[in-house]
Structure 1
Amino acid sequence: MQLSEELARAITSMGRLINDFQGEELSRSDFLVLVRLPLQGGAGEAVRSRDLARAEGLDPSTMSRRLGSLADRGLIAREPDPADGRAHLLTLTQAGCDAVQRERARRVALVTDALAGWAERDRAELARLLSQLTDTLEHRRASQHDGRTAR
């Protein structure tokens, strides 16, 4: 098999593992939204709901329903955008931050358990190579994005 096929297979298997043993608190889609938000009162700028919808590739109305659910559960705070009264700025509440941390720990445990039989040097090498691949892909995406916006 080619490398790209093996990567796709690994990513698919990881997604299935996460979904099969989904946490009780956050759905996969909840988690993907929450990790994009800064902590309320912390470092980082609040995010506009329309920008979040665009980043996730969702229709704004779909994102609005998801955000409403997260706000109802006390995981996010929505404040009116002073620059546009129709829009909201979103941040994580402390409860949202805690939920994200628990979900991250759950996901780490799933991978750690899966790699328990691997030699330490193999785990370290996998981590190094995945980091290198991610850095390369992110750099390539940024370069291509910069090229499109410069046209």
Structure 2
Amino acid sequence: MTPTIFSHPDRKPQKFRPFKAFQHFRKLIADKEDTEQVFHIFENLPRKGFMDDARAFVESDFGQKLMEREPYLPDLLDDHSWIDALPEGTVGHAYVTFMRREGLSAAGLVAEAEKMGRPKFDDQVQWYSNRLRDTHDLFHILTGYGGSRLLGSPPVLETGGIL
């Protein structure tokens, strides 16, 4: 179902909390595979232009079409059978190779994000945020940053404007 409102009235603006982000960064240093800490870091360091970017995207013709027609991305991205059929040298082939090598799945990233217990809203901001989350590992391929939670994900999140 396509969300009809841009931002739910109960959605609270994210606050810039660098000291809290630093606490989560220290936890990430202690356990470099603790993906949840990356979500906490970027939740506490919200990007100023995120809402403007979300609005521009969801109000564009392309964004409208995606919201109406796009399947649930984690299911699509975790079904490697159709991606395996793509030729070597394609983004799809590189994506599947990366996901297998790193032992990752799109559904796993969703599960990590949901551990935070953030409220979910049936709005376009939620759809846009989920889409960025779901395509996160594709950005590792497109930017050339590796899969390290400590060194790879923060630049990918910033490059893709993801959180």
Task: Please give the TM-score of this superposition, normalised by the length of structure 2.
Answer: 0.24
Higher RCO (C-alpha under 8 Å, 6+ residues apart): 2
Greater radius of gyration (CA): 1
Task: Please give the TM-score of this superposition, normalised by the length of structure 1.
Answer: 0.25
